[in-house]
Structure 1
Amino acid sequence: MRHLPSLYISHGSPMTALEPGQVGSRLAELAAGLQRPRAIVMASAHWLARTPLVSSTAAPETIHDFGGFPDALYQLQYPAPGAPELAQDVAERLQAAGLKPAVDPNRGLDHGAWVPLRYLYPQADIPVLQVSIQPMLGPAHQFAMGRALAPLREQGVLLIGSGSITHNLHEWRNYPQGKEAPYVRPFIEWVEQKLGADDIPALFDYRQQAPFAAQAHPTDEHLLPLYFAMGAAGSDALGATRIDAGIDMGFLAMDIYRFDGAQ
């Protein structure tokens, strides 16, 4: 049986949990075509730290890390079990790669994790743990984290980076329904072209090379999980496939990528 791909998922706003749009059906279709993982490791844009942290709780809580949304959103739960033994394995692999991780015994699942998982695996019966993102350390560091964990794909572990291909919340009210931010498509097309060409150096240097990089990402944290998923491909031949899930609110590109590596 082929080992699992790594994934990058644009999770959108928290409201994706109630109003999934195209991303819900795309994730369900994606999961249907994968072998069932024995566990999931998520690198979410909503867990930021100075050094790599690995969640090891046996029963992660569903974190509602947002405000000002409908009450129904705060009632949602994703009661997946944790994976303490896998967390130790993950920490050891990161340590062996020189990345100096620590284990967090209390961290639950933030919405960058549980919102897309609701559509990938709605039964919430697959163990899940999270690893943190280090925005001060940049794309190459996140790539190295993914690369250190890539062998887990051959052991039935699904490695996922969760962020957003474009993410500029300053645009929240600027693009009413039917209007699209002019920078979104040039940016997502550049990313798709560079991923298809396995141009990892250009992607590392996206701030200088990508069109409208500052508009698409005023800060890096929602793109950094992409590099985790790229590294988790296990090869510089990324085997990238783009899954178009539309553009939410005119400025949030909901692209999903799978990376099959050099199979």
Structure 2
Amino acid sequence: MKKNSNSYLASPYIVWSAIFIVIPLLLIVFFSFTKQESGQYVFSLDNFNRLINPIYIKVFGRSLWLALSSTIICLLIGYPAAYIISTAKVSRRGTLILLFILPMWMNFLLRTYAWAAILGKNGVINTILTTLGFNAVNILYTDVAVLLGMVYNFLPFMVLPIYTVLSKMDKDLVNAAEDLGANKIQVFTKVIFPLSMPGVASGITMVFMPAVSTFVISKLLGGGQFMLLGNLIEQQFMSVGDWHFGSAVSIFMMIMILLSMAFMNKFDNDSNKEGGGLLF
């Protein structure tokens, strides 16, 4: 009876998933492997063959480079921030975490538009530079502007999972390593960092996925001067009206994300060991 009751309670979620996840995904797969000829849908691989065009390869390369760069920068900034928060007093941790979460309460578009005002020709940065006697710099509508927008918007996704793992870490392992004669660098590299790898893997995945598929940030801060993978998909569906090629690009992007998730999951499993054991 209890099993049947649980199945009944789960049925709304199953219906929801079927309507808004499974069916749209099947439609994307259908359109990616078909094309229209004389009003009929016929099986074709032409949509995927178009992906080898040098123009689209350049789009893929730029998207991967920016996504990887933003992920690495978020890790370099986010890990020390998460570590500092995890070592702070318990009464202050909530406030420090709130500082990272607070910008996320604002609309995504507004947060991105704010960077346009900061990086613009007459923005805050150039105003300060000209006031100090320096020449104005052209940052807006460049790769640097897009990269800054990605790091700003996705940094909390790196900090939170790492902080969660670090805050739950057994401090006795750190104390044991110090008692065995390990210095601070050895404690970090042999104990703390290995034990925090699940959080690092989660953070990398949570930053890389939206970074490689974003189109709003590149559209607002890039000024439409170059195209990323997300912009290409949006263009095919909203402007060009070529749902077949847009679906093929979407499938390619999903495969790329799934491969990165599988790699990080394997890396996470391989590193899931007691950090203290690495001292010997």
TM over 0.5, yes or no? no
The TM tier, using the shorter chain, reads under 0.3
Richer in helix (by share): 2
Bigger Rg, structure 1 or 2: 2
Higher strand share: 1
TM-score by length of 2: 0.26
TM-score (ref. length: structure 1): 0.27
Highest relative contact order (Cα 8 Å, sep 6+), 1 or 2? 1
